[in-house]
Each structure stands twice: as C-alpha cells, then as structure tokens.
C-alpha cells in the first residue's frame, strides 16, 4: 500500500464519493470480489462491499438482520459503578439517547458486513459517521480516499480519541458467505418471472381459410387484441382455440428453491428458520428463539459491551463527558423476566415470612388494596388457583 499520509481533517469529508456497481450480480463476480478483498499486496474491498449493497435489498434477509440486531438494541442497559455494582441513572441517561442507538446500529452491521470503523464528528453531541467499508482496508489500518486507488490515510495512530473500531480487521462478515445464496435466489426469482410471462397466460391460436399475407397479418393483430381485451371480430371461416397452461406444479421448482435458500440464510443470522417463518413445531421454534436470545444475541451484546467500555467511554471522558472508564462500566441487563403468575407465587411465599407493603403489591399487580388482611383468604384451588388469576 503506497502514498500513506496523515491529516487533521475529518476522514469522512475527504473520501471521494463514487458510483457503486449495482448491475446484475453473478457468482464469478462474487469470487473475484473475495479475491480482491483478500489480496496480500493491494487489497481492495469496494467490489465486495458494493456486492453486499446490491444484494441486501432482499425481504427475507432484511427481516432476519433486523431481528438479529433488535435482540441487542432492544435490550436494556445501565452504567454501573465497578466497585458497588449499582446503576447510575444519570450516567445511563447519557447513553439512552439517539446518538448511541445510531452508533449501535452501525456497530452491529459489523456482524454482517465485516470490520467497521466510525469517526466522531461532533464531540458535543457524540455523533458518529460511518467510514465507508468500501474505502476501508482493515488489515492495513488504511482508508482509501478513492476506492480502487492507493492514495489514502493511515489511521493506525493519531486518531485514538476520534475513531471507534468494531470487529476483526480481517473479517468481512456473514454476508461473504450469503452472497452465493442471494445470487441464486435472485436468479430463481428472475427465471420465475420469465416463466410466468411465457406460460402464465393461455395460448391463443387460430385456424383460417384465408391465405393472403394481408389477411393473415390482420388476423394476427386481432389475436393480439383478443389476448389483451378478450374481444375481437374475426373473418368468416376462422376458428379460435384457447389452450390453458397444463404444466401442473412446474412453478414449484422456483418456489421450493427460494424457500430452501431462505431457510439456509436464516440459520447463520438468527440460528434457525422458524422465528420469522411458519414452523411445524412450537418446540422447534422455541429452540430457534433460544439460539438467538441465549447464544447469538449474547455474543453481539458482549461485543458492544467491550467496545463501549474499551473505546466509547474513554473517548467520552477525553471530550469532557461525565463518565470515567476507571469507575464506570457499561452492562446490558441480562436478567430474565417472570410472568405475573410466577411473580405472584414468589411474593405469596415471601408474604408468609415477612411483611410486604400493600402499596407495592397494589402497584405491582395493578390491584386496588384498601387494607391488608391479617390472614389471607385462599380461593378455590389454593395458591395455584390464586396464581392462575394472574396468568
């Protein structure tokens, strides 16, 4: 990599905006893009990242990626004191803001698109700008000012208080493995559209006693009009025949291929295909949901926690924000939720051994209470019947 230079200006403002190739993707282009991104001497990532942008306009892929990211962005979090473990509400509110959710959304894209670097553009509001991945050469700590060229910025040093990096420098994300499936799916959809155009409409044919070219041409125009408006005036001696398509379930060749590709895409993203699609078994869909919540999402949350604690909080401290990496720690809330019935069972048993404020019970279970009885009246069915009332 040649012509490295240092600069004090914003990196994202120096990058030259270029045309992205969105022509029809083919398998050989995918392989060429991977080779270019993994080149030893002069790697180029724009071909691969442009292919990602081209293929990501897929409904099933969009649903799966949004679900995977929501498992992290929808999880509660706190800034806690490292010594006491108590949450600091004031400091937590600094992160419970639009800038942090925008940053987290871009950071989680590293799971799908690979190594990600963001630049702090406004320390007063903590606004970050994503450095285009098509210009980023992670292995070289280098940002190309123009994709496909060799002139750029060395970011290995001098940007510690402005740049935040997420993921491994050599990683190109899950999408590098999904490109083949997405290309095959798009081709299947296009072939299905061509099949429908050719065979979806019934064949209209005619036999006539007319032999002159002019009459045949006129009859052909009438048949064309018949196909569009289902009405025509035909010469005497003309017989019209309409043959509907009798290919049976030929369309299922394309439908089954698309369905299988969707299933294969779901597995590496959310751990299964039954979370967003219909499943034949509730137990199987619950297993897939646990794969997302307990395994994949936990991995994503851990990545966000490491990045916030090791990079974001020190940067905020540098720019004068009221957080300290030595005493403050970002943590996601990993406690599990109890159903109302399960919660009542616990409260009911504690009630036997300790006094519980009536105001708290009223607020927690949304029950108006004037005065607590000294000896609770049990409904039919005992405690189980009482718990059932809260389910």
Helix (H) or strand (E) holding 277: none
The CA distance from 5 to 2, in Å, is: 9
- How much is the average pLDDT of 337-364? 74
Of the listed ranges 83-97, 171-185, 188-202, the one predicted with least confidence: 188-202
The CA distance from 342 to 166, in Å, is: 39
- The whole-number pLDDT of residue 4 equals 44
- The whole-number pLDDT of residue 2 equals 44
**At a CB cut-off of 8 Å and minimum separation 6, what does 180 contact?**
27, 30
- The whole-number pLDDT of residue 227 equals 59
The CA distance from 370 to 324, in Å, is: 47
Over residues 261-292, the pLDDT tens digits come to 899 888 888 876 555 555 544 444 444 455 56
- How much is the average pLDDT of 317-335? 93
Closest to 206 in 3D by CA, of 198, 192, 216, 191: 216
Q: What is the pTM of this model?
A: 0.71
The CA distance from 59 to 212, in Å, is: 53
Torsion of CA 142, 143, 148, 150, to 10 degrees: -60
Over residues 143-166, the pLDDT tens digits come to 999 988 889 999 999 899 999 999
User: Strand 152-154 vs strand 4-5: parallel, antiparallel, or unpaired?
Assistant: parallel
Closest to 36 in 3D by CA, of 50, 23, 56: 50
The CA distance from 310 to 326, in Å, is: 10
Over pLDDT 90: what percentage of the chain? 45
The CA distance from 155 to 169, in Å, is: 13
Neighbours of 193 (CB within 10 A): 12
- The whole-number pLDDT of residue 284 equals 47
Neighbours of 71 (CB within 10 A): 19
Neighbours of 322 (CB within 10 A): 11
- The whole-number pLDDT of residue 288 equals 46
The CA distance from 133 to 44, in Å, is: 10
For the chain, give the mean pLDDT.
81
Q: How far is CA 169 from CA 116, 117, 139, 142, 372, in A?
A: 8, 10, 5, 11, 62
Of the listed ranges 17-31, 150-164, 235-249, 327-341, the one predicted with least confidence: 235-249
Helix (H) or strand (E) holding 195: helix 175-199
- The whole-number pLDDT of residue 382 equals 53
The CA distance from 144 to 154, in Å, is: 9
Of the listed ranges 32-36, 49-53, 95-99, 352-356, the one predicted with least confidence: 352-356
Closest to 49 in 3D by CA, of 26, 71, 22, 68: 22
- The whole-number pLDDT of residue 9 equals 57
Bridge partners of residue 147, in order along the sequence: none
Radius of gyration for the alpha carbons in the chain, expressed in angstroms and rounded: 31
User: Strand 136-137 vs strand 142-144: parallel, antiparallel, or unpaired?
Assistant: antiparallel
Bridge partners of residue 153, in order along the sequence: 5, 143
pLDDT at 19 over 70: no
Reported as a pLDDT band with limits 50, 70 and 90, residue 354 is confident
- How much is the average pLDDT of 31-43? 92
């Amino acid at each position: 990599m040649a012509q490295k230079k240092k600069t004090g200006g914003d990196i994202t403002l120096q990058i030259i905006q270029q045309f992205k190739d969105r022509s029809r993707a083919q398998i050989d282009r995918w392989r060429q893009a991977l080779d270019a991104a993994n080149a030893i001497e002069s790697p180029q990532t724009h071909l691969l990242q442009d292919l990602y942008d081209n293929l990501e306009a897929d409904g099933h892929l969009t649903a799966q990626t949004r679900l995977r990211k929501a498992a992290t962005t929808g999880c509660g979090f706190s800034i806690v004191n490292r010594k006491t473990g108590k949450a600091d509400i004031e400091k937590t509110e600094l992160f419970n803001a639009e800038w942090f959710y925008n940053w987290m959304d871009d950071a989680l894209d590293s799971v799908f698109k690979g190594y990600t670097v963001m630049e702090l553009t406004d320390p007063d509001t903590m606004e970050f700008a994503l450095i285009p991945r098509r210009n980023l050469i992670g292995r070289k700590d280098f940002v190309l000012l123009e994709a496909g060229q060799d002139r750029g910025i060395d970011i290995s040093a001098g940007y510690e208080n402005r740049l935040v990096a997420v993921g491994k420098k050599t990683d190109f994300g899950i999408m590098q493995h999904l490109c083949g499936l997405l290309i095959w799916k798009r081709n299947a959809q296009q072939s299905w559209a061509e099949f429908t155009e050719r065979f979806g409409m019934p064949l209209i044919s005619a036999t006539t006693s007319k032999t002159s070219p002019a009459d045949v041409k006129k009859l052909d125009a009438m048949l064309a009009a018949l196909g569009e408006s289902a009405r025509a005036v035909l010469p005497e001696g003309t017989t019209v025949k309409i043959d509907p398509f009798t290919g049976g379930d030929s369309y299922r060749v394309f439908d089954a291929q698309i369905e299988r590709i969707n299933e294969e895409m779901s597995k590496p993203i959310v751990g299964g295909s039954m979370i967003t699609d219909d499943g034949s078994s509730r137990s199987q869909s619950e297993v897939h949901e646990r794969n997302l919540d307990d395994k994949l999402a936990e991995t994503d949350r851990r990545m966000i926690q490491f990045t916030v604690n090791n990079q974001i909080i020190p940067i905020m401290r540098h720019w004068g924000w009221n957080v300290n990496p030595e005493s403050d720690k970002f943590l996601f809330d990993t406690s599990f939720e109890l159903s109302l019935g399960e919660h009542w069972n616990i409260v009911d048993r504690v009630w036997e051994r300790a006094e519980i404020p009536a105001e708290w019970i009223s607020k927690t279970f949304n029950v108006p209470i004037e005065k607590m009885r000294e000896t609770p009246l049990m409904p039919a069915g005992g405690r189980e019947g009482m718990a059932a009332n809260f389910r």
